[in-house]
Amino acid sequence: MSPKVLEKGSLVFWFHSYDARHENRASVHVGNGTQDDHNDAKIWLEPEIEVARSGRTLRKHELSRALKVIEENRDYLLEVWRDYRG
């Protein structure tokens, strides 16, 4: 299961269960109203916020907005990520 962890307007932020099991670096996926693993953006949360994959669902200005939301909510996202991983 890949849980949705945050919504801001049409942006949906979610964790991918595969990432939580197989990656040591925290990341969040971002879609435009959906959770589409193959097309959504993937953003590293650590050590710094960084675009891992820009995806196909977000326009440039939406990706910029998503990065701003992530920056504003980074502590929360990292806390929820750690809880999700167990």
Write down the residue that tokens 């200005």 correspond to.
Answer: 61
What local confidence, expressed as pLDDT, does residue 1 receive? 58
State pTM to two decimals: 0.93
User: pLDDT, tens digit, for every residue of 31-54?
Assistant: 999 898 889 999 999 999 999 999
Q: Which residues contact 12 (CB under 8 A, 6 or more apart)?
A: 4, 6, 30, 31, 32, 33, 34, 35
Average pLDDT score over residue span 56-80: 97
Q: How far is CA 29 from CA 19, 84, in A?
A: 10, 14
Percentage of the chain exceeding pLDDT 70:
99
| Beta bridge partners of residue 14, listed in sequence order | 4, 29
